[in-house]
Amino acid sequence: MKILNESVVLAGYLIAAVLFILALKGLSSPRKARGANRLGATGAAVAIGVYVLGHDIGNGIWIALAVLVGAAVAVPAARRVQMTQMPQLVAAFNGVGGGAAALVAVVEFTHGPDAWAAVVIAFTVFIGGLSLTGSFITFGKLQGIITSRAVVFPGLGLLLGALTLAAVATAVAMVTTGDLLFAAVLLGFGLVIGVFFVLPIGGADVPIVISLLNAFTGLAVAGSGVVLSNVLLLIAGTLVGASGTILTTSMATAMGRSVTGIVFGAFRATRRSGSDAGAESRPVRTVTPEDVAILLEYSSRIVIVPGYGLAVAQAHHAAAELAEILTARGADVVFGIHPVAGRMPGHMNVLLAEANVPYESLVEMDVVNGQFKSTDLVLVIGANDVVNPAAKSSPGSPIYGMPILNVSEAKQVVFLKRSLNPGFAGIENELFYDPKVSIALGDAKATLTQLLTAVKAAV
Amino acid sequence: MDAFAVITITVLAVFLGFEVVSKVSSTLHTPLMSEANAIHGIILLGAIMVAEQATEPLPLLLSVLAVLLATINIVGGFVVTDRMLVMFAAKPGRPARKESAK
C-alpha cells in the first residue's frame, strides 16, 4: 500500500525517535515509568506503520507470518516469566535482536554495497553475532544451565586474541572482495567470540554483562541504520548504545567494580583467596523461627535485608506480610536495599513492588547504612554477598571493593538461610561466626511462614 | 546518507543517550535496561525493509528469519518492561505507610 508519501514516512520516523527519547527519559520516575514504556511502544508502532503504508510491500505474507510467529513466542514468554527469572529473559530478547541486526546486514551485503557501507556491514555482522551468542551464554549462566562461575582455561586470552585477529582479517577480505562467503565466516567468528567473551565472566558480574551486550546490540542496530540509510535505526541504536554504556558503568560502580575489571578480570585473576581454611567446621549459632519471633517482639527498629534467595523461594510476599504485621504493632520496619540485591541492579525493588511493599519502605544502601547503629534487629533473608564483610577486609576476594550493607553495626542480626553455602559469588561469609549473629536454617519461605505463625500467635 | 550526516547524528545521539540515563537511580536500572532492550528491537523495521525487497530464496529466508527474531525482541521487550513497571505504578486503595519510612 503506497498511501503515504516519503516525507510523511520521514516525519513518522522523527516522531518515533522523539518518543524513544521520551521513553528512556520517563523511566527516571517510578510513577511515570509505565506511561513512558507505552510511549516507546507507540514510537515503534508508528515507525513500522508509516513504513508499511508508505511502500508497496513485497513478500507481505512471509513477513506477516514471521511477525505473527514472533509475537506468539514473545508474548507468552514475557507474560509468564517469573520475576526472578526476568534478567535471563531480557538477555534472550537482547540476543535475538543482535542476531536480527547481523542477518539484516548480511542480506544487505548481497546487494553489492560501496566500500564505506561494506565496512559498516562487517562491523554490524560481527557485533550482532557476538551479541547473539554472548546473550545466550549469559542466559545459560543465569538459568543455571551453564555454571555461573567464571570459566577460564590456560590460553583463553591467547585464543580470544587470535580469533579477533582472524575476524579482522576476514572483515578486510570481505570488504575488498565483496564475497558473501567471507561475510558468513565473519558472522561465525562473531558467534564464537561471543561465547568465549562471556564464559570467563562469573558470579555477580554476569547480570552486568547483559547491560553491556544490550549496548552492543544497540551499536549493531545503529550500524544497520547506516547500511540501510535509515535515520531512525541509526538514532535508536546509538541511543541504546550510549545509554547502555552509561548504565553498565553505573551498575559496575554500584558493585565497586570497573567494566574492564569485569570483562577482563578473569584473565588476570589468580586463585581466589578467601577465608576457606577450615571455615566450615567453626560453630554458628542457630535459632528456630519461634526464637526469631520473640526477638522481633522485643525490637522496635527492624531492618529487613532481602536477597536473591528470598525471591527464589518466592518468599517476598511473606516478607511483605511480616513487615506489615510488625508495622501495625508499632515497630519501625524498613527494607534495606543493596543496589545489586537480586540478580541485577534494581531487581529487588521490582520483586518487592510485586509483593505490594510500599515504595517508601524501600531504603537505599547509603541511607540505611547510617541507620544500622540505632537498629535493634536486622533480618537478612536469602542475602549473603551484599552483607559480606570480605568486601571490605579481604583484598583477594572477588567482591573486594563492593560497597556492602553494614549489618554488623546493629544490635542483633538474624540470617534466614537455606544452608551455610556461599552465595552466588561463591565466597565464605565471616559474619556467620560473629557472636551477635544467629542463623535460622531452612527454605526462606518455610521459615518465614513459621515465623509469621509464631508472630501472629504472640499477640 | 553521506558520512558527515551519519557522524553528526551519531555524535548527537551519543550525547543524548548519556544525558537521558545518567541521573536514573539504581532502583530503576533493571526496567531501564529492559526498555533500552525493547527500543533496539526497532531493528524489526530494518528487517522488514530487507525482507520486502528480497527476490532470491536465500536473502528472503535470511531476512524473514531476521523479521522473526526482531519481532521477538521488540514485542517481548515492551511486554516484559510493562510487567515490571506495573508494579511501580501507584496503587490506589492502598495507603502508603509514610510514617514507617525515613
The pLDDT tens digits for A353-376 are: 888 888 788 888 888 999 999 999
Max distance between CA atoms of chain A, in angstroms, equals 81
pLDDT greater than 90 at residue B52: yes
Kindly list the residues from chain B whose CB atom is less than 8 angstroms away from the CB atom of residue A103. 47, 62-63, 65-66, 69
Give, to the nearest 10 degrees, the angle between helix B29-39 and helix A231-254: 160
10 Å Cβ neighbour count for B86? 14
Q: Facing residues of A417 across strands?
A: A441
Q: Has residue B92 got a pLDDT over 60?
A: no
Beta strands A301-306; A377-381: pairing state: parallel
For range A219-245, the mean pLDDT: 96
Mean of pLDDT values over B29-50: 95
Please give the pLDDT value at position A273: 39
CA–CA dist A374, A251 (Å, integer): 29
Mean per-residue pLDDT for A206-221?
Answer: 93
DSSP codes, B46-68: HHHHHHHH--SHHHHHHHHHHHH
**Least CA distance to A254: which residue of chain B?**
B26
pLDDT at A252: 82
Answer whether residue A113 shows pLDDT above 70.
Answer: yes
**In the predicted model, what is the mean pLDDT of chain A?**
88
A252-290 pLDDT tens trace: 877 777 888 777 766 554 434 344 444 455 678 888 988
Mutate to test the interface with B, among A10, A22, A34 (most CBs of B within 10 A): A34
pLDDT on residue A28: 84
Q: Are A257 and A276 a contacting pair, CB within 8 Å?
A: no
CB distance A78–B90 less than 8 Å?
Answer: no
Contact B75 A74 (CB under 8 A): yes
When pLDDT is averaged across residues A401-413 and rounded to a whole number, the result is 89
* Chain B CB within 8 Å of residue A168 CB: no
Q: Give the integer Cα–Cα distance in Å for A302 and A305.
A: 10
* A44·B78 Cβ contact <8 A: yes
Give pLDDT tens digits for A2-25.
889 999 999 999 999 999 999 999
Looking at chain B, which residue has its C-alpha nearest residue A348?
Answer: B27
The average pLDDT across A318-341 equals 90
**Whether residue A448 has pLDDT greater than 70:** yes
Percent of chain A with pLDDT over 90: 53
- Closest Cα to residue A12, out of A56, A57, A42, A35? A42
Closest CA to A361 of A327, A318, A404: A327
| Grid cell locating B29 | 536500572
Euclidean distance between CA atoms A414 and A322, whole angstroms: 15
Listing DSSP states for A161-188 in one string gives HHHHHHHHHHHHHHHHH--HHHHHHHHH
Residue labelled with grid coordinates 536477597? A307
Neighbours of A340 (CB within 10 A): 29
Delimit the CATH 3.40.50.1220 region(s) of chain A. Answer: 279-457
Question: Which amino acid, one-letter code, is at A241?
Answer: G
Class of domain A279-457: alpha beta
Best mutation site among B69, B94, B98, B102 for testing chain A: the one with the most A CBs within 10 Å? Answer: B69
* pLDDT of res. A275: 41
Helix axes A180-198, A156-177, angle to 10 degrees: 160
A40-75 pLDDT per residue, tens: 999 999 999 999 999 999 999 999 999 999 999 999
Q: Would you call A356 and B94 a contact, using CB atoms and an 8 Å cutoff?
A: yes
**Contacts with A34 from chain B: Cβ below 8 Å:** 82, 85-86, 88-89
Write out residues 322-351 of A within 8 Å (CB-CB) of B. 327, 332-334, 337, 339, 342, 344-347, 349-350
- Taking CB atoms and an 8 Å limit, are B40 and A116 in contact across chains? no
Helix (H) or strand (E) holding A362: strand A362-364
Read off the C-alpha cell for A197. Answer: 567473551
Query: What is the gyration radius of the CA atoms in chain A, in angstroms?
Result: 25
Give, as one character, the DSSP assignment of residue A2: B
Q: Is the dihedral of CA A180, A182, A184, A186 positive or negative?
A: negative
Tell me the shortest Cα–Cα distance from B56 to chain A, in angstroms.
10
Q: What is the mean pLDDT of residues A415-419?
A: 85
Chain B residue at shortest CA distance from A249: B22
Q: Out of A270-274, A427-431, B15-19, which region has the weakest mean confidence (pLDDT)?
A: A270-274
Query: Across A85-94, A199-208, A400-409, B14-23, which has the greatest mean pLDDT?
Result: A85-94
> Which pLDDT score is estimated for A400?
77
Q: Which residue has the higher pLDDT, A392 or A92?
A: A92
CA-based nearest residue in chain B for residue A343 = B30
Give A-chain residues touching B41 at CB under 8 angstroms.
Answer: 44, 93, 97
pLDDT band at B44 (very low <50, low <70, confident <90, very high): very high
**pTM for the structure as a whole:** 0.83
Residue B100 to residue A332, Cβ atoms within 8 A: yes
Question: H helices of A279-315, where?
Answer: 289-297, 308-312
Which sequence spans correspond to the domains of chain B?
25-89
Q: Indicate which residues of A carry an active-site annotation.
A: 385
CB contact under 8 A, B20 and A243: yes
Confidence of residue A459 (pLDDT cuts 50, 70, 90): low
Top-confidence residue, A374 or A340: A374
| Whether pLDDT at A346 is above 90 | no
Q: Looking at beta carbons, which residues of chain A come within 8 Å of B43?
A: 97, 100-101, 104, 220-221, 224, 233, 237
In Å, how far are A50, A92, A342, A344, B37 from A86, measured between CA atoms? Answer: 32, 10, 11, 10, 13
CB–CB contact A353 B44 (8 Å) = no
**C-alpha–C-alpha distance, residues A214 and A227, integer Å:** 20
The rounded distance, in Å, linking the Cα atoms of A296 and A310 is: 19
| Alpha-carbon A293 to chain mean position | 35
With CA atoms as reference, the chain A residue closest to B91 would be A356
